[in-house]
Amino acid sequence: MLRIYPKQVSLKDWTKVTLWPMEPRDEARLHEFFCRIPEEDRKLLKEDVAHRAVVANWCRQIDYNRVIPILAEAGGKIVADATLHRRKFGWLQHVGEIRIVVDPEYRRKGLGSLLIEDLMLLAIDSKLERLFAELVASEIAAVRAFERVGFERMAHLPGFARDQNNTPQDLLLLTADISTANQPETYFYSF
């Protein structure tokens, strides 16, 4: 499943990007990447990635059965981190969650969409049936990227999230049904 990596892709502006699953040796560069992410965006993450210890912990506990982190590199730097999270047990074990962070300088080039597509294919390969994503409604470009590949808005929670100024922001919960993708003669999306 992960054998297709490392993989080279071209963005809209022909920038060459390499994608591969995170390994322990990526720790320092991943931390540098998160430090380049503006604080307002970092606040939207679940953990405080400005702390080296948080990143170190991820790199020490890599378990692709639980979390598949795909990193993107361009010009010698990590420029995006996309993760597919799943549970091994319980009523949500057929549901995967996607989270994506892209370097501000590499946004609007289609990199986020490419990563979402890659994670969707990995999710289908690992027999997941549904995908979930949580986004702040004001991140319009990100919401569109998810909707383009088949995610639908399941809930709109007004004022549920807080940004770095403690201002309420609407939260969107998106899901995609990928359960038919493993059936023969069904095409999930066209290239």
**Shortest gap between Cβ of 158 and other proteins (angstroms)?**
10
Residue 59: phi and psi, rounded to 5, are -70, -25
Strands, DSSP E only, in the chain?
Answer: 7-10, 16-21, 67-74, 77-86, 95-102, 130-136, 152-162, 168-177
Give yes or no for residue 130 binding other proteins (CB under 8 A): yes
Under a CB-based contact definition with an 8 Å cutoff, are residues 169 and 140 in contact?
A: no
Judged by CB under 8 A, the number of residues near other proteins is 28
Query: Could you say which of 66, 87, 127, 144 contacts other proteins (CB under 8 A)?
Result: 87
Query: Could you say which of 155, 180, 182, 189 contacts other proteins (CB under 8 A)?
Result: 155
3-state secondary structure of 178: coil
Query: Could you say which of 4, 28, 140, 157 contacts other proteins (CB under 8 A)?
Result: 157
Q: What is the DSSP letter of 28?
A: H
Give yes or no for residue 191 binding other proteins (CB under 8 A): no
13 or 53, CB closer to other proteins?
53
Query: Could you say which of 59, 160, 170, 188 contacts other proteins (CB under 8 A)?
Result: 160
Give yes or no for residue 107 binding other proteins (CB under 8 A): no
Q: Identity (one letter) of the amino acid at 3?
A: R
Return the sign of the alpha-carbon dihedral for residues 5, 124, 58, 148.
positive
62 or 95, CB closer to other proteins?
95
CA dihedral 26→61→104→177, nearest 10 degrees, is 130
**Shortest gap between Cβ of 2 and other proteins (angstroms)?**
25
**Shortest gap between Cβ of 172 and other proteins (angstroms)?**
11
Best CA proximity match to 138, nearest among 163, 121, 119: 163
Q: Using CB under 8 A as the criterion, what x/- string covers residues 26-65 for binding other proteins?
A: -----------------xxxxxx-----------------
d(CA 52, CA 49): 7
Point out which residues bind other proteins (CB under 8 A): 43-48, 87-95, 130, 136, 154-155, 157, 160-163, 169, 171, 173, 175
